Chain A
Amino acid sequence: MSNEKKIRDLLARMVSMTPPPPPFPEETLTVTQRDEAPRRNPALIFGVAAATVVALALPLFLMNRDGQPLGEGTTTTTTLPETTTAPPAPTTTVPGSTTTTPDTSTTHPEELVAAWPVFFVQEPADDSGRPSLVPFVMYITDRDDVPFALVDSPEDMLVNLERLPLEIPEGFYSAVPEAVEIVDKEFERTSAGLNRVTLDMNEAFLDGAGGLLADFTMLNQLIFTALQMDIDEVVFTVGGEPVEQFGSEGISLVDPVDAASFRDELNPIVLTSPVTATETEYAVYGMANVFEATLAYRVADTAIEGFVTATCGTGCWGGFEFKIPRAGVPAGSFLEIFTHSAEDGSPMNTVRIPLDTAIPKLSGN
């Protein structure tokens, strides 16, 4: 029997197991009912989705940073608003947000299709080091009318940026070339108890991003973005085969990689979760490998500044988090996180984040 006949036989046997069709879902009987339903506030939807995304992503990064496997209890969530009912009100909305304001003139509520934290690259403002990574929540609603396959996961959203109606925050860019595509992806639980995603890339992936540093930046951006929602490690393949030589210098990607694999090729200050905002304060989460684990921060053009200590430093990566008050922070402000030069005390390794991109965080979280 030919392969085609065998496949048709397999399908016939599969289809023969089809259960009876489910009954018509009665709750969507008429358009009139939908129109009369209380309109869900997209800001609430986004707030709930984004806060949950952050709540899920942060522990993962904190644990990955310490090299510990993730427990089995971690939830995997994708299109949150589809199942969100009566969300509690977020404590705030962010003024001057760069996200698109939904059209309130339509009669149908906007449904969130995907909301993923995607990492973007920023060159240090002071040219003192390597590129940094900062995640921002990117979201797609049904009004954007894009194929779901383009936004199926954070990494899908990243490689399909040029095909999506998304706005990359000012001062950031993607190091992943437009020609790079994810052909297929597969999830598995390894014998070591880790959740692994295998990303089968197209041939363009093998070319890297043009130069060793750009190659590492591209890899880190992909890896950090993929290491969310229950994923502990990433395996890259091309045509189903291991990648023995990647980019200009032939980096081996045969073994699984995670956030620790190439992070030394990044700026020593990296954010690991999107900045969140409550009514009264912003919260910032990241990791750093800086002298004496000491970081400085300030909100440009305000009196807000301070120091924070990472959990490790001077040769090792440690986590850090701090909060800054919202009072006195005008719209359009930038948060700067940096170290001081040992030579003259000037700022180094500066990461500059637009605070308008902060996502609402639910009270109590």
Chain B
Amino acid sequence: MITATGVMDDEQVYRLYARELTEYATTLVGPFDAADVVTESCLRAFRSKGWPEVTNRRAYLYRTVLSVANDHHRSTLSRRLREMRTAERIQVFPVEIDVDVLRAVERLSVQQRSAVYLTYWADLSPDEVAARMGISTGAVKRHLARARKRLGEWLA
């Protein structure tokens, strides 16, 4: 995986993290668009000026996935239309779709989904979550508190 110079090339980096980034993106935007978000995120990261100097490429890619997911979330109307077509897409989608879970997660903002995923799935500390999201530790705690509130029925 490591080249002679000790630095992984883009494709090696991609192969190393693609799976977990797709998991993360699935939590942020749902299973239908996760692959697109990961592809766009990696293109954005690989093309960025600072990419060759990035020391923690994994964290950088996570932040980029969050950025792209935020863009995605802003396209509210198109997202709603896609959701309306969900029933049709379920039949051809490669994994089983749990609509109840999607409905529960849909109540959360992208930032809240990210904070919940990184805290409870990736088991990161609030400081680590903050660094990976590019926000303050206080903001992470607020996102988590609000996420728990919005998941009220699920947690009941």
Across-interface contacts of B11 in A (CB, < 8 A) = 24, 29
Contact of A21 among B9, B38, B134 (CB under 8 A): B38
Q: Contact check, A6 vs B154: say whether CB atoms are below 8 A apart.
A: yes
Q: A111-B48, A142-B49, A184-B111 are in contact. Are A19 and B94 (CB under 8 A)?
A: yes
Once the chains are docked, how many angstroms separate the CA of A183 from the CA of B146? 10
Contact of A78 among B18, B52, B71 (CB under 8 A): B71
Once the chains are docked, how many angstroms separate the CA of A10 from the CA of B143? 17
Contact of B18 among A22, A108, A185 (CB under 8 A): A22
Q: Contact check, A21 vs B19: say whether CB atoms are below 8 A apart.
A: yes
The count of residues in chain A whose C-beta lies closer than 8 Å to any C-beta of chain B is 56
Q: Contact check, B98 vs A19: say whether CB atoms are below 8 A apart.
A: no
- Near A by CB (< 8 A), chain B positions 98-156 give 98, 101-102, 104-105, 109, 111-112, 116-117, 120-121, 133-135, 139, 142-143, 146, 148-149, 151, 154-155
Q: Contact check, B39 vs A22: say whether CB atoms are below 8 A apart.
A: yes
Q: Contact check, A24 vs B15: say whether CB atoms are below 8 A apart.
A: yes
- A4 on the B face (CB < 8 A): yes
Across-interface contacts of A16 in B (CB, < 8 A) = 95-96, 98
Q: Contact check, B35 vs A21: say whether CB atoms are below 8 A apart.
A: yes
Contact of A149 among B43, B49, B134, B155 (CB under 8 A): B134
Contact of B134 among A18, A147, A229, A240 (CB under 8 A): A147
- From A19, A24, A27, A76, name the one whose CB has the most chain B CB atoms within 10 angstroms: A19
Q: Contact check, B39 vs A7: say whether CB atoms are below 8 A apart.
A: no
Q: Contact check, B42 vs A25: say whether CB atoms are below 8 A apart.
A: yes
- A-B CB contact pairs (8 Å), 30 listed: A3-B155, A4-B120, A7-B120, A8-B120, A13-B101, A14-B26, A14-B98, A14-B102, A14-B105, A16-B96, A17-B31, A17-B95, A17-B98, A18-B22, A21-B18, A22-B18, A28-B46, A29-B11, A34-B47, A82-B40, A82-B44, A110-B49, A111-B48, A149-B133, A184-B112, A184-B146, A185-B109, A187-B73, A195-B76, A240-B149
Q: Contact check, A189 vs B120: say whether CB atoms are below 8 A apart.
A: no
Per-residue 0/1 for A168-201: is the Cβ within 8 Å of any B Cβ (1 yes, 0 no)? Answer: 0000000000000101111111000001000010
Q: Contact check, A78 vs B74: say whether CB atoms are below 8 A apart.
A: yes
Q: Contact check, B31 vs A18: say whether CB atoms are below 8 A apart.
A: yes
Q: Contact check, B155 vs A7: say whether CB atoms are below 8 A apart.
A: yes
Q: Which residue of chain A has the shortest Cβ distance to B135 in the bound complex? A: A149
The count of residues in chain B whose C-beta lies closer than 8 Å to any C-beta of chain A is 69
CB A198 to nearest CB in B, in angstroms, measures 10
Per-residue 0/1 for B3-18: is the Cβ within 8 Å of any A Cβ (1 yes, 0 no)? Answer: 0000001110011001
Per-residue 0/1 for A299-315: is the Cβ within 8 Å of any B Cβ (1 yes, 0 no)? Answer: 00000000000000000
Across-interface contacts of B15 in A (CB, < 8 A) = 24
Q: A14-B26, A148-B134 are in contact. Are A22 and B98 (CB under 8 A)?
A: no
CB B138 to nearest CB in A, in angstroms, measures 9
Once the chains are docked, how many angstroms separate the CA of A24 from the CA of B10? 9
Across-interface contacts of B10 in A (CB, < 8 A) = 24, 28-29
Q: Which residue of chain A has the shortest Cβ distance to B133 in the bound complex? A: A149
- From A181, A183, A195, name the one whose CB has the most chain B CB atoms within 10 angstroms: A183
Q: Contact check, B80 vs A14: say whether CB atoms are below 8 A apart.
A: no
Q: Contact check, B117 vs A11: say whether CB atoms are below 8 A apart.
A: yes
Once the chains are docked, how many angstroms separate the CA of A3 from the CA of B10? 39
Across-interface contacts of A105 in B (CB, < 8 A) = none
CB A110 to nearest CB in B, in angstroms, measures 7
CB B155 to nearest CB in A, in angstroms, measures 5
Q: Contact check, B77 vs A189: say whether CB atoms are below 8 A apart.
A: yes
- A86 on the B face (CB < 8 A): no
Q: Contact check, A15 vs B27: say whether CB atoms are below 8 A apart.
A: yes
Q: Contact check, B46 vs A19: say whether CB atoms are below 8 A apart.
A: no
- From A6, A24, A188, A189, name the one whose CB has the most chain B CB atoms within 10 angstroms: A24
- A343 on the B face (CB < 8 A): no
Contact of A7 among B9, B49, B116 (CB under 8 A): B116
Once the chains are docked, how many angstroms separate the CA of A142 from the CA of B49? 7
Q: Which residue of chain A has the shortest Cβ distance to B14 in the bound complex? A: A24
- A145 on the B face (CB < 8 A): yes
CB A160 to nearest CB in B, in angstroms, measures 11
- A39 on the B face (CB < 8 A): no
